[in-house]
Amino acid sequence: MKNTDKSPHIPVLLNEALDSFKESKDGNFVDCTLGYAGHSFEILNRYKHLSLIGIDRDDEALNFSKEKLEPFKDRVQFLKGSFSDRLKDIDFNYVTALLADFGVSSLQLDKADRGFRFDSKLLDMRMDQSNPFSAKDVVNSYSQDKLEKIIREYGEVKEAKKVAQKIIQYRANKPIKSNIELADIVSSVVYNKGKIHPATLVFQAIRIEVNQELEEINALLDMLEEQKPKGAIISLITFHSLEDRLIKQRFKKWAKSCICPQNAMRCMCGNNNNLGKEVYKKPITATKREIKINPRSRSAKLRIFKFKD
């Protein structure tokens, strides 16, 4: 079967994600971040024994995916909302594979009316446009201390204090209404570093705050740790160090057999407490060929965990 639809988003690490599920058993495959179904289309096409539960909070993406996945309609269920909420509606006894791609889709980034771009006349950055809370609220209502905190923690920006001060000074005269204004404010404090726009990490920090992205990842990991789906393969794709660190630490915890204190003279816990294994110790990254075709893949990392049967 050939995919005749022209997808507005290029799925990253597609072949690697596909291969990660080659040992999956019959059951449900959950795509926590369905997007434009780039990964899910190929997974359904290759693995006939899997049925899809696709989750997304973006209506535009869901509508596109419903049409794209029409050939598999008997094997697909769609859930609208954040995966932290909708995972509660899923019976994990039947989940054998789960994928999440935590990147923002190319379409969301490229469309000016979604308010992610530096040159957008909007200040938005919502993945779910029905959510009343946007980047405009963060930039215009947060205190200086709170702005500095999210810019430092979520953007890892050295000049976080200066950026927060500059935003407060600017909005004292008038509200900040566009990404153009915000990018100019940031650029007056953070200097250009090579080809990367000086406002990139500040925009990342605000986007993470608006969409509660790290809280979403932690909620997913908590749910998996609680449910421990037998034999399930978990493949998670991240795009920056904050996300990757959360997943790396949790996978390491799940793979640990001995949970005795480090100063224990001998193991007293039974040395059988691991929930499964990390399929690879190091993350899988994009090939040079993929990066050339899709430059946004250069920061992608895929980590895979397999729960015990």
- pLDDT tens string 237-276: 999 999 999 999 999 999 998 888 878 888 888 888 899 9
The pLDDT-based confidence of 4 (bands split at 50, 70, 90) is very low
Number of structural domains the chain divides into: 2
Choose one of 211, 234, 258: the last residue of a domain. Answer: 211
Question: Cα-flanking dihedrals φ and ψ of residue 4, to 5°?
Answer: -95, -10
CATH of the domain at 79: 3.40.50.150
CB 41 within 8 A of CB 70: no
pLDDT digits (tens, 9 = 90+) for 25-49: 999 999 999 999 999 999 999 999 9
Q: What residues have CB less than 8 Å from 50, skipping those under 6 apart?
A: 21, 24, 26, 27, 28, 29, 43, 44, 75, 96, 97
- DSSP annotation of 49: T
* Structural domain containing residue 60: 14-101+213-307
225 lies in some domain: yes
Given 188, 211, 234, the domain boundary residue is 211
211, 242, 264: which is the final residue of a domain?
211
CB-based contacts of 173: which residues, under 8 Å, 6+ apart?
Answer: none
Examine the domain organization and report whether 251 and 226 are in the same domain: yes
Specify the pTM.
Answer: 0.89
pLDDT in tens, 119-153: 899 999 998 888 899 999 999 999 999 999 999 99
Please check whether residue 180 is in contact with residue 118, taking contact to mean a CB–CB distance below 8 angstroms. Answer: yes
Is the same domain home to 206 and 192? yes
Distance between CA atoms of 40 and 76, rounded to whole angstroms? 10
The residue among 213, 202, 215 whose CA lies nearest residue 147 is: 202
Cβ–Cβ < 8 Å for 125, 154 = no
Distance CA 6, CA 80 (A): 23
Read off the CATH number of the domain in which 181 is found.
1.10.150.170
